[in-house]
Amino acid sequence: MKISKNVLRYLFGRGTFNQLGELIQPLRKAAESKVVFFIDHFFRGKDLVKKLPSLQQDEIRFIDTTDEPKTPVMNRIADEFRRFPEGQIVAVVGIGGGATMDTAKAISNLLTNEGPAEQYQGWDLVKKPGIHKIGVPTLSGTGAESSRTCVMTNPVNGLKLGMNSDHTIYDQLLLDPDLTVTVPRNQYFYTGLDTYIHCIESLSGRNRHMLADAFSHEANRLSRKVFLESDMQEEANREALMAASYLGGCAIANSFVGVIHPFSAGLSVVLGLHHGIANCIAMLGMEEFYPREYTEFMTMVERQNVDIPRGVCKDLSDEQFDALYQSTVIHEKPLSNALGNDFKSILTPQKVKQIFLKM
């Protein structure tokens, strides 16, 4: 058993984005103090950027989220900011969905820990606290705002894994449901379901305790409220989903995911699918492992009238199926959590292929 850590400070509610400057100002100890803003490229030229409490010496970096974070990109960005004198960068602010917030967390860690990002992919490998980091989610569901990891893909070895460390957790959060009002309908569903999936995996696993279960149960109560109602994007439901996302991140920080996320990771690594939609596609093959939740998920899809791509694996080569297998079973901790230490005797190459063919 290890000591658990969650985000220490946060503001929740409509309009709280306007208080970002109040969080940053105490960190500026000198005239040359610099804040780095990582912002989803969706907001380039939008009103949100005009509201940033930025000064002339600050850095505003738009993150292209067409692809999910990759270690070479993280290394390039970190090297750019390592050129500044130690202590000049006083805060890193991540504004966007999970990919942008994970980028901010990764760069924060890399600015105080030498070496490349892939050196820290794994559990508790980050040795020094990162630069002070503030998270501002503009999508709800990933739990990146409250989890202890930032997920990246290493294209060399095909490993999709995060810097899973207490040092990765945000120091402060601004949770403003007004920031999710412009999210496209399908994207809102794909990303929002990440919370639901985190928690059903946690509640079905072997590495559980009552507090983690409490986070998961409440996150999924809120998720069901959102996705089983007629309008998942009305104001009260956007607020509920933002709360569920935060709680889901706390839940998974205290437990592990299960079968769904490793299969989703395989889809991301081999087919380049983004995490949220990859999770939803992976759910199509999960009836055997999560039968009640599979049925509930399909009801949510029908209720919200969203599109889940099907048949994404039907025409793949043997080499691609082998890559899917390797990119799935490499996730030992979650698969052991779900199926036990002998999970490879269950998830044989043929079995894994059969599951992918259901997607």
Tracing tokens 């928690």 back to the chain, one arrives at: 199
- Same domain for 176 and 225? no
- What pLDDT, on a 0 to 100 scale, did the predictor assign at position 289? 98
> Strand 151-154 to strand 159-164: parallel, antiparallel, or no bridges (unpaired)?
antiparallel
CA distance linking residue 138 with residue 130, whole number of Å: 23
Low-confidence ranges of the chain (pLDDT < 70): 1-2
- pLDDT score recorded for residue 4: 79
pLDDT digits 0-9 by tens, 236-279: 999 999 999 999 999 988 899 999 999 999 999 999 999 999 99
pLDDT the model gives residue 1 = 60
Domain assignment present for residue 55? The answer is yes
Instruction: Give the pLDDT of residue 101.
Output: 97
The pLDDT of residue 161 is: 87
> Does any domain span residue 61?
yes
335 shares a domain with 231: yes
Together in a domain, 113 and 46: yes
Q: pTM for this structure?
A: 0.94
CATH number, residue 328: 1.20.1090.10
pLDDT of residue 2: 66
Q: Which are the contacts of 151, defined by CB distance < 8 A and separation ≥ 6?
A: 68, 69, 98, 102, 160, 161, 162, 275
**Of 151, 180, 209, which residue sits at a domain end?**
180
Q: Is residue 20 situated within a structural domain?
A: yes
Do both 23 and 166 map to the same domain?
A: yes
Identify whether 2 is part of a domain.
no
Q: Are strands 172-175 and 9-12 parallel, antiparallel or unpaired?
A: parallel
CATH number, residue 78:
3.40.50.1970
Give the number of domains in the chain. 2
Contacts 24+ apart (CB under 8 A), 316-319: 316/356
In angstroms, rounded to a whole number, what is the distance separating the alpha carbons of residues 319 and 317? 5
Kindly state whether residue 3 falls inside one of the protein's structural domains.
Answer: no
Tell me, yes or no, whether 122 and 255 share the same domain. no
Q: What is the pLDDT of residue 22?
A: 97
Per DSSP bridges, beta strands 89-96 and 59-63 are: unpaired
Domain boundaries, position 148: 9-180
Residue type, 29: K
Same domain, 149 and 243: no
Domain closes at, from 155, 180, 205: 180
Q: Same domain, yes or no, for 189 and 169? A: no
In sequence order, what DSSP letters do the residues of 65-96 get, joined into one string?
A: TTS--BHHHHHHHHHHHTTSPTTTEEEEEEEE
DSSP bridge pairs for 243: none
160 lies in the same domain as 246? no
